[in-house]
Structure 1
Amino acid sequence: MPLTRLLPSREGEDLIEMITRFASAELAPRVAEAEENAIFPRDVFRKLGELGVLSLPHDAEYGGGELPDEVALQVVEELARTWASVGVGVTVHWASVHPLWKWGSDEQRKRWLPELISGDLLGGFCLSEPEAGSDPGAMKTTATWEGDEYVINGLKAWITHGGEADFYTVMARTSDDGSHGISCFLVPGNAPGLSADPPERKMGLNGSRTSQVRFDNVRVSADRRIADEGRGLAMALDALDTGRLCIAAVSTGIAQAALDHAAEYARTREQFGRPIIDFQGVSFLLADMSARTSAARALYLEAARRKDRGVPFTRLAAEAKLVASDTAMAVTTDAVQVYGGAGYTRDYQVERLMREAKIMQIFEGTNQIQRHVIGRDYR
């Protein structure tokens, strides 16, 4: 059913209308086959680049849309409402550009940012490692200074767009000074020595490629280091704050999709001579799904508005990610329940949505980590 959004400008309203039409025409006909057969929709990201979606948060000076997060995140939600893999892909690209955009020198931004956000190139964000997931400060990937270059060696894990990305933002250790010894590098995807393992065989989001990425004596020039040595982890954590809002938006889109499908099914499915939506057990279930989804949206938008106004939002971002991803899991589970046995088959989208919801509780820091972030703010 149509979703009424309160946007801060007519420009935002027009953008959401365009994205809704794009999702209906370009994404909806493809999502089932692509997810079933693990087809990565590279062309979709090029089209989104042409529409300006990959550059929405960035400065107009470099070709960006310079839109507030309050609007950009609702674009993500609308994309994810139709195809979660695409919504996630857009946010990963934004994360890949984030350190350059926020901490790069004027020269670096002028040199690389217009190309990276134009849509021709797609990014990957390399932070996690097999033994450094929730604790990124434990990473072992190194960047050693040799001559006038850095030489990167190591293994990154769970990299969205691994093997597909045209560039990677890579966090690597430049000293043994613990969390203060990590630096950030912008690495071309075709750099000699950089390779990706076969994609992970996942429960869901199969249209989004996830792979380990290996760095075997990958050489990068000093001008590809973003800001000073030792600043990398702070950049990564800052990107994670925004990333949590992005996953909250994706989660809300998944929940909204599940609610939409369940409500439509309940209106058309008859038992005992009546649509099942007429039965209180079903209508109350839908009511709870609706309330949870609306609450998740309100929370991530409140955090986005705080970010737009320069107000601290770290705790609220963690709350939004926690609540929205738990909501996605609960609402998709209830959607399957509305469908009954049919919902447990792959003939209906709610089965896929339920599988996709699970990773939202793990992305960008598990929900146990989110609780740690939230609780720490009260100490």
Structure 2
Amino acid sequence: MDALLILGGLLLILVGLVWLVMLAFDTSLLWGLGSLFPPLTLVYVLRHWRVARKAVVLSGLGFIPLIVGLTLLANQDAQRLQAILSLDWARPPVQAPAELAIHLRGSLNGQPFAPQQAELIDGVLSLREGEDVFARREVTIRLPNLVKNGNAPVRVDVLPQDSGNLPEVQLSWLLPEQELPEARRLNHAYTLHLKLEPQGPNKLAGDFHLVLPPQFKTTLSGTVELFTDHLRYVDGKVDARYDSRETLEYVITDYLKRRYATQRVELGILPGVNFPASNMSLSIEARINDRNEQLPVVLRKSPSRGWIVVGDRYQVEAKAEVAAEVKPEKAPAANPVPAANSSLDRRQRFSLERLQSNPSRYMNLQMRIMTERGSMVEGRFNGIDTDGQIVVQRNLKGQGGASFAVLPAQITSIELLEP
């Protein structure tokens, strides 16, 4: 109601002013041109009041609903009124500084490509444009045998005539009328040059050059900066305010190390989490001092400190225990206890049939699905529904998550991305 009154008042004022200018032009051409300037408009009203009074009265009537609407708005939402009067809406939005310095020239599938996200994790380099569930455009290059873990320098050069075990290049794009992105792959007949150097605790930066065969309409050249994990750092320390599974893993692992006064903590795979959130209750599995433990953990996000474990009182006590801890004698080497992470890699011999026969074994693991129509679905496995469809969930940055269900008969390939 308040918005209608404000708009109605402004409309009456505008109509009255337009009518006043028209009356001025009817009087003479010079008065008409002069009425376009506010000081001369006032002079015209004073000199020709009997002619101009109708338009002035109409504009004056417009102030009545305008003032009533602003009063109602002030009573209901004073902050909104303040934002309107301060004219913040008229100023151009201030864009937040980009996390990564990416300067690429060229196109992907014949369209301009301006990625905002870039990472090189577990031998997979990805450049992504768009913040939605599926990227508008994305380039993925698999370099499992050429990239070492951590922030080691990366050198890759591939020419069109090269053969053998070459990096696999994948393009994907999402058209406005499509629900799932289209994808294309190739592993030969392209040009690739990568020269990346470590920058900071979890970044690589350097040259990127990619030229695909003409039918792909893709040529990219310039410099890129990439994250090597899903953590963020401030002054060399992990930023616990950033929403990611890895941030939660870091916070929980740090908490367990201080709680049990030991560095021998191996955290299992976390249950499924959705962002954004301010509180989380998780049941975690961890191996602490060679013992398997299952613990409930409640996390809360503080605006200043980020994610913290509720009830964490072990900062001082843990330091005291570590200082007083006596170095234990070496345990006999016989019959060593296997580590929690020494289980078999579930990516080996993974198939759709194995997933359908034992879905609980692959819960919350990252996987990629290609359909017979050329579409691609990537996310965390969330089970099999009552119709037998494979359910995959993908988290959105700051926007929750989305689930997608794919019939097994439509799947042409399925790939597990985590061990």
Q: Structure 1 or 2: larger helix share?
A: 1
- TM (norm. structure 1) is 0.23
- Structure number with greater CO (CA < 8 Å, separation at least 6) is 1
Larger Rg computed on CA atoms:
2
- TM (norm. structure 2) is 0.21
